[in-house]
Structure formats: structure tokens, C-alpha cells
A = this chain, B = another copy of it.
Amino acid sequence: MATRVVLKTYVKSGFAELSNFSIDHVPAPSRDQLKSGEALIRPLYLSVDPHQRGRMGGQSTYVGGYKTGEPITNYLVARVAASASSAVHEGDLVYHGEGKWQTEYIVKASDLTKLPDQEGINPRDYLGVLGVTSFTAFYGFQVRGCPKAGETILVTSAAGGVGQIVVQLAKIHGLYVIGVAGSDEKVEYVKQIGADKAFNYKTCGDYATAIKKAAPEGVDMYFDNVGGPFLDAVLLNLKNGARIIGCGITSQKNVTSANEQYGLKNLFYLISKEATLVGINVSGHFNSPIHDEFVSQISNLYREGKVKFKIAELDGIEKAPQALLDLYDGTNFGKSIVKV
């Protein structure tokens, strides 16, 4: 039998409770059931992420809503148990972006990204330091941001999953790094991982003035995880030729209609400063040379101790609902992962 975590009832308001989930058992799929192009995989580690809350409400979000009676899905790493495709082979380590919280299942091989087994890299690291948040940081900062040593970068949500990797990569590339976070503890952490300056946006007063104070000559790159009024303030503090990497808009996460959306007023500074705003979204870049390059570069930096990443691990697929709840009550510290 295969064990799976199923959404029993939609979570309409507030956060989920354990009673919203059930742990089911279904017949284990066998290799005889494989059609051409399919693979049978066994998840090793499950990623547990805040964005999953939005998918439990029964409404479609940009990655699609969950359905009751079906397994929860999210990023995971797995071993191939059997394959009817030339793309992956038995024993391969793979990443599945929309993987099921189920101990064994059949999937189209084209939906899998093959991962290397590397010395000093645990398979779970592909959900952590080598996972989607790090890939987003690498892709945005290094591939699209065109960083140059000596430039000044500003990073919001600098203690977050994406931001902390941007801070560390920017230091490695010789940039002057200014991190912005939402608590004094996070500000302290951002400094610990290498930021030259950091400030708390909740206590800094006027954003434009705080940015001007931290970067009197303006910023060459802004890694934007928040959008909204902070982005408007950064637009007043750009150097000529600046790049803004548009990664997230967490400042608008509670906005439910376009009318409530914050209206950006300073976009014309992109013209006078010949600046560029680059929207990034790595979902289409997993099976690409860029992803291979990311895995290679970040694996080396991680092994050498030059990039750090904190993981919080729970053991057993039946712990996965609890891991989701822990995200919201402050129990966890670091990237949440469940060992199947």
C-alpha cells in the first residue's frame, strides 16, 4: 500500500487544522502499470511552504487550487523506482515541481527534472539551498541582474528564503549589500550572513529617506520581493542604468481586488535613469542549462561553506500536515522539509 496526505476539507478562513487533512492508504502502483513516457517514483523529501495555504481554499490561484479527496502537492525530491521513458532511469534522483504527498506514484517523465547525486549534497538540499527559492535568487540576481563588483544592491525580505541567498551571492560577487527585513532579529541575521547594512522597514520611518541614508548615491540593483510603496520609494533612489529584479509582491498579498492594489506613481524614473524592471519566474527554467549551472555553482559554494542555509526537518510523511501548521505559529526556524 502507498500512504498519502489528502485534503479532507477546504480551509475557508484562518489557517488549517489537522482535521482538514487525512492520512490515507491506496494500492501501491506497480511497474506493470507504466505507459510509455511514464515513471514510477518514491518521494524522499517533501517541501513545506507558506504558499500552500492559498491553495487549500478551493479557489484557483496562479499555481492552481487543491481539491478535497486528492493528495496535497508541492515540490519534492524522489527516486525513480521504475521507468518507461528514456529521459529517466531506475535509481535516478529527480525533482518534481508538482509532486504528490504520497509514498509512491506514477508521473510523466517529462514533468521530472533529473538531479545529480553529489558528494556532500544530501537529496533534501535540493529542496533547501538547491531548491526553488535559491534557484529564484540565482536566476534573478546572477542571470538577469548582471551584477558587477563594486555595485550597490538593495534586497527586501532579505532574511527570507530568496533574499538570504541573494545577500550571500551578492557578497560573493563583491557588491555592497543593503538588506531590508521586518524585525530587528531578522535585521541582525541579515548582517550575520554578510550584508554591509541592514534596516527594519517597520521602524525606519519614511522609506525613501531610509534608502537614501543607506545608499546616498542610489542603488545599481534592487531585488524586489515586496512591490508596493517600498518599490515606489526605491524608484526615487536609482543610479543610472539600474536594474530592478521583480520577484515578489508580498506587500500586496492581502489585496483581493485590483482596486485595493497599491498604485505605483514613480515608474517614470525608469526612463530618466535608463533603468530596467525585469520580472522573473523560474517555473519555466527547470529543465534548462541555467538550472544545471545553478546546481553546479551553488553546490560548490555550499560545500565550501560560502553559502549557508538553515533547514527544519520532520520525519515521516504523516507529519507533513503538522509541518504546514508549524509554518504559521513560529515553531519552525529555517526551511521546512519532511522526510518521507
Contacts and interface: CB of A to CB of B under 8 A. Distances in A.
A271 B249 contact: yes
Interface string A262-277: 1111111111111111
A54 interface: no
Q: How many A residues are at the interface, by size bracket? A: 20 to 34
Nearest to A275: B279
B267 A267 contact: yes
B248 A271 contact: yes
A327 interface: no
Contacts of A249: 268, 271
A311 to B, nearest CB: 27
A270 B266 contact: no
A274 B267 contact: no
A325 interface: no
Query: A62, A275, A284 — which one has the most chain B CB atoms within 10 A of its CB?
Result: A275
A279 B240 CA distance: 10
A275 B259 CA distance: 22
A21 B63 CA distance: 63
A124 to B, nearest CB: 28
A284 B264 CA distance: 27
A246 interface: yes
Nearest to A261: B265
A252 interface: yes
Contact of A270 (B265, B273, B274, B277): B277
Contacts of A272: 62, 279, 281
B280 A271 contact: yes
Residue among A271, A277, A284 facing the most chain B CB atoms (10 A cut-off): A271
A227 B264 contact: no
A210 interface: no
Contacts of A278: 270, 276
A266 B277 CA distance: 14
Interface string A228-257: 000000000000100000111100100000
A292 B267 CA distance: 30
A258 interface: yes
A137 to B, nearest CB: 15
Given A262-B263, A263-B262, A274 B279 contact: yes
B258 A266 contact: yes
Nearest to A231: B267
Contact of A271 (B259, B266, B279): B279
A273 B62 CA distance: 11
A279 B276 CA distance: 6
B227 A267 contact: yes
Interface of A: 62, 227, 240, 246-249, 252, 258-259, 261-281, 284
26 contacts: A227-B267, A246-B267, A246-B268, A246-B270, A249-B271, A252-B268, A258-B265, A258-B266, A259-B265, A261-B266, A263-B263, A263-B264, A264-B265, A264-B267, A267-B267, A270-B277, A270-B278, A271-B279, A272-B279, A273-B279, A273-B281, A274-B279, A274-B284, A276-B276, A276-B278, A276-B279
